[in-house]
Amino acid sequence: GIQVEQSPPDLILQEGANSTLRCNFSDSVNNLQWFHQNPWGQLINLFYIPSGTKQNGRLSATTVATERYSLLYISSSQTTDSGVYFCAGLNQAGTALIFGKGTTLSVSS
Amino acid sequence: DGGITQSPKYLFRKEGQNVTLSCEQNLNHDAMYWYRQDPGQGLRLIYYSQIVNDFQKGDIAEGYSVSREKKESFPLTVTSAQKNPTAFYLCASSIQGAETQYFGPGTRLLVL
């Protein structure tokens, strides 16, 4: 079955709007992380969040490991937030990350 | 500056040709990884290496080969056996295991 599933696949926002991205993950995946891929392809770590809540500026993330989901919140979105957001979890062997298919965010001014 | 570099940024491959993608890191990380990304898809693991002179196949290793002769370097060869090589290739490294990985800027491979 699908190990890491993200929703929605696409999201279009006006600048200043807030959004929530969701990641569901199976029992075979742990140690959730969130990444942002900019339009040029560079992948940037946002959060390493196996459980609990973290905040970094306008972004915050919450993982409820017992219910196998994680949420990424973007507040007061800016055009520079555009790109693809991936969540990924560590496989059971602890050797590699399993990625979801991503949420493509487009923020217009 | 510390970081991960990949070269070239764009690479063109002719039919039947082997090509090698470079990945170098000066972060003193033990583990290095190669991923493939197709349009609209997440990243899929090709190969990984947790220590010098050792590497393991990922989910889609067929048609690819790697070497890890130095801690800093983890080159990926796309062989002629890879029938659909057009993709974006990303290299990553981490301190231990795969808890937090840091990614290079990527190489776009196109088939002529």
In DSSP notation, A21-82 reads: EEEEE-TT-EEEEEEEE-TT--EEEEEE-SSEEEEETTEEEEEEGGGTEEEEEE-S--GGG-
Task: Flag if B106 and A41 touch (Cβ within 8 Å).
Answer: yes
Q: Is B44 on the interface with A (CB under 8 A)?
A: yes
Give residue A39's identity as a one-letter amino acid code. P
Q: Residue B91 in 3-state DSSP?
A: strand
Q: Does residue A100 surpass a pLDDT of 60?
A: yes
Q: Is B88 on the interface with A (CB under 8 A)?
A: yes
Percent of chain A surpassing pLDDT 70? 99
Q: Give the strand pairing for A103-108 and A10-14.
A: parallel
CA B48 to chain centre: 8
pLDDT band at B111 (very low <50, low <70, confident <90, very high): confident
Q: Residue B68 in 3-state DSSP?
A: coil
pLDDT band at A94 (very low <50, low <70, confident <90, very high): confident
Q: Is B27 on the interface with A (CB under 8 A)?
A: no
What are residue A103's DSSP bridge partners? A85
What integer pLDDT is reported at residue B20 of this predicted model?
96
Q: Does residue B98 surpass a pLDDT of 80?
A: no
Widest distance between CA atoms in chain B: 38
| Residue A37 structure tokens | 């891929």
Q: Which helix (H) or strand (E) holds B10?
A: strand B10-13
